[in-house]
Structure 1
């Protein structure tokens, strides 16, 4: 199954067909459309720290959570630092990052508590959602190239297994919209980090162009990490959307040179 776009209450979002078919969970990857922000943030900016008007961003949250069927009052936001920390979320964390101050930094969030809506942000980096329908555990992961090299998605699978007893073979994964190989042009520092971390297998996700620059496929690298962590290849859905190619539809940090809003990706057990 794949990751597809749908529209609810005038708000377009992407969802993973396999997760929807499994039931017991709501989730979604936002786009730029369907909100009330204006100017450089038009229209569905979900980043509270980008300089946008807070009340407009909160209205965007109301619209997006309503569209995907999530609980606004159950939101838990991540404070991302491009690391590999995965935090276990409890009821004490409800509202952190949006209705109360966040007291942690983490690029991955996991929970088994229904009604808690895990939320991570992206604007070229990869949003990755995980769902174990057997043990009923969810995770949301932010994976830029540093997080990919450090294995943030592997840490999330391991924590689902160690904390909640998930079997990796049961986990469904959705790699959402992010910068794709076509546009992720880098110097040799990124390929070096990937091969050092993942070995020769990483070479298949990188290409040296005539320009002397490398083009790196972060989606493929994270899919490889998920398979190595024990997920079945047919349990991994990958969005074809490139945030930089499709910058009119998605926020792209590279295209806007940082003058932008943020996508949010959410997952919540019912």
Structure 2
């Protein structure tokens, strides 16, 4: 599977070829191009809580949702806390406005309800979308280094299996744009967390630098997590784009020192 870029009247977004080929799902990873926000939020900011004009953010949502073919009124998101909670989204979770506080904390969402738009937000952390076209279940995961160490992507797969009866070999995964190994320079706490959680399997994704710091490949680690959870490696697509390397195209917390908007990744079963 590959990740493909689209440009719809200046609005740039990405999709996973395998999801599109399977059909029955609408999804997309946003960039920062194609919106109406200004200043440090220029242009496609999809964060309601970083100080941008709410009307501009709503218009950005309208444009992005129209481009990927989902209903902006059926978005469900959570308060992301870099944990490993995966929530099953039911009909009772619908109707929470974008500018209202999310009622629960979670970094993963799964559902089998058509039309529900699972949404997670990133600006260096990894957005991961999951789709089982056989059982018709979708998932959206926010995975920073803490979530990677906790194995949230694999836990989302386990929840899809346990709650909806998915077969692991049917599940497709797409790891979207995020900070790549080239820019994710860390102290020893991050590689230590990975090796503690994953053992020797983590070592190939960790590089020791001459400075004594480390480069850590979160995309490779999450792909390993998904493979360990039983996914076919051929069913895992990984975006090569590094948000920190490409601040003109993506929001990067590290590149902007926190003065930024947010990307969103969305997925919904088509009705």
- TM-score above 0.5, yes or no: yes
Structure 1 stretches of 4+ with a deviation exceeding 3 A read: none
- Checking the alignment, whether the CA contact within 8 Å between 1:77 and 1:97 is kept in structure 2 is no
Partner-residue secondary structure (3-state), 2:28: strand
**Other-structure match for 1:194:** 194
Whole-Å Cα distance in 2 between the matches of residues 125 and 224 of structure 1? 17
Q: Deviations over 1:69-102 (max 9, x none)?
A: 0111111122100000001001121232516442
CA RMSD of aligned residues (A): 0.9
The count of aligned residue pairs is 270
Whole-Å Cα distance in 2 between the matches of residues 65 and 125 of structure 1? 21
Whole-Å Cα distance in 1 between the matches of residues 97 and 121 of structure 2? 12
CA pair 164-241 structure 1, distance change in 2 beyond 3 A: same
- Checking the alignment, whether the CA contact within 8 Å between 1:8 and 1:68 is kept in structure 2 is no
Q: Deviations over 1:173-230 (max 9, x none)?
A: 0000000000000000000000000001100000001121100000000000000000
- Checking the alignment, whether the CA contact within 8 Å between 1:78 and 1:97 is kept in structure 2 is no
**Other-structure match for 1:13:** 13
Q: Deviations over 1:5-24 (max 9, x none)?
A: 00224311000000011000
- Checking the alignment, whether the CA contact within 8 Å between 2:48 and 2:99 is kept in structure 1 is no
**Other-structure match for 2:86:** 86
Whole-Å Cα distance in 1 between the matches of residues 54 and 215 of structure 2? 37
Whole-Å Cα distance in 2 between the matches of residues 222 and 174 of structure 1? 10
**Other-structure match for 1:150:** 150
Query: Runs of 5+ in structure 1 lacking a partner?
Result: none
**Other-structure match for 1:46:** 46
Whole-Å Cα distance in 1 between the matches of residues 95 and 218 of structure 2? 31
**Other-structure match for 1:96:** 96
**Other-structure match for 1:138:** 138
Whole-Å Cα distance in 1 between the matches of residues 48 and 238 of structure 2? 27
Q: Deviations over 1:207-264 (max 9, x none)?
A: 0011211000000000000000000000000000000001110000000000000000
Q: Deviations over 1:119-173 (max 9, x none)?
A: 0000000000000000000000000000000011111000000000001110000
- Checking the alignment, whether the CA contact within 8 Å between 1:79 and 1:97 is kept in structure 2 is no
Whole-Å Cα distance in 1 between the matches of residues 211 and 4 of structure 2? 34
Q: Deviations over 1:18-61 (max 9, x none)?
A: 00110000000000010000000000000111111111101100
Q: Normalising by structure 2, what TM-score?
A: 0.98
**Other-structure match for 1:214:** 214
Query: Runs of 5+ in structure 2 lacking a partner?
Result: none
The Cα of 1:4 is off from its aligned counterpart by: 1.2
